[in-house]
Structure 1
Amino acid sequence: MTQQANVDGFFITRAEIDHLKEKLDAVVHPDLLDAMYAALAADASMGGIAGGGGGHKQQHSKPPYAMHIDALIDELHNELTTVIRDMCETRKIEVPDIGGATQDAARWLIRYRFGLALMEEAPLHYRHLTTVIDKCLRSVNQLQPEYRVTPAKVEAANRQVVTARQVEKLARQLGDEGRGLTVRRVKYLREHDMLTGTKDHDSDTWFYHLGDVIAAHKRARENRARPKVDVR
């Protein structure tokens, strides 16, 4: 079945775009890869050489944990560069010279994340990228528990088609993200061109993607919180 774009022309929701940026930010930040390489080196130094009698040392193969980390580093880099190549081929532009710089690949995708969202393959790339980054974070105990909504639930919820009344019922389960989300609020966001939806003319009911509602609500709150500049 052909994937349908939303009104913005995106094939993933704005909430998913924001979530992807957060994951890519984790790759750009040196803590993740530094921790993975440190774990790789420490595990190899402890398990790679075993002492024998008379001071004889025997070289062993790389320990399973080190092999796991090594494979994850490769998987992460390959996934990032695969998405970049796919984007460039689709848009018929030159592939950037990333080389072996995993962090540079993540930076490139952050910069062009909205271009990625315009691709029909965006949902697949989104799933693959967030999955491999979470695996890397988990490997060095950096995956923070998401008490409000897990990544899997976020993805499922964002694609859920809901009415304004259903949004209000779900809001109490969304923690801070859902605070203030009422039927009236959803209508306000739509009428002020901050949220798009689809109207069923037979029932006169508006339908929305839940992820789009959450993202619009967040943007509106952030805009309201910004100090107003006196241009006089």
Structure 2
Amino acid sequence: MAKLNHTEKLILQFLKEDFSTKNLGANSLSDGYDGPSMELIQQGTGTDKVDLDIAIESLEKQRLIKTGPTRVVGDNNPTPAVIMIPFIVSDKEYAYLTKQGYTSAKEIEVTRPKSTYRPQNQTIIYGGKFTNSPIASGSSVNQQQQINTSNGSDETVQSLLNLIKDDGVTVTSKKEKEITELVQAAESGDSLKSKNIFQKAFDSVSDNVQKVGWQIVTKLIMQQLEQP
């Protein structure tokens, strides 16, 4: 398998989180299932359309994901004298994991340097069915943080600040402003602005805390997109 770039890793992690929230079995990885739309994947990973399209194509070639829905082309041949072989094409409206992709997504989570692990084993994000995988800590300490994104901006801002503080980073007034702007951008559904602010606000924390923080931001963006 070729080395995955950052965008490809984000997509695999996003699809794995989507798969987990749907409580699907391993057979779905073989038989296929309706994954998130390309729009949701783009918003959830904070990537632009060009980078997304390139990454999706690469992941498909590596058989880590599949896209759908599919349709048969060339099955209605108006000229009997000409032999046309039907083939299947994808409309690429959504993407989903294969078995190999699911395994690769799990490996992405466990190959982070152990020196960056912190004693925060699990974060549960409410405001919809959204539970991320446990975070390895390398110690016997078990901590659980519960973050309810449906209780308003103030609680979400405080939860993100606590997440940063627990990682050993001093929370300054500048940091508070960045986190407030981050939550506001996410709640407006602006993934690109959210990503830019996130990179500044979470630049000095560990990889694992960055991952959890981005999952919270992703949930806020998805809640906005799913509103009627």
- Common fold by TM > 0.5: no
User: Larger strand proportion, structure 1 or 2?
Assistant: 2
User: Per chain length, whose mean CA-contact separation is higher, i.e. which structure has more relative contact order (CA < 8 Å, sep 6+)?
Assistant: 1
Q: TM-score range by the shorter chain?
A: under 0.3
Q: TM-score, normalised by structure 2?
A: 0.27
User: Larger helix proportion, structure 1 or 2?
Assistant: 1
Greater C-alpha radius of gyration? 1
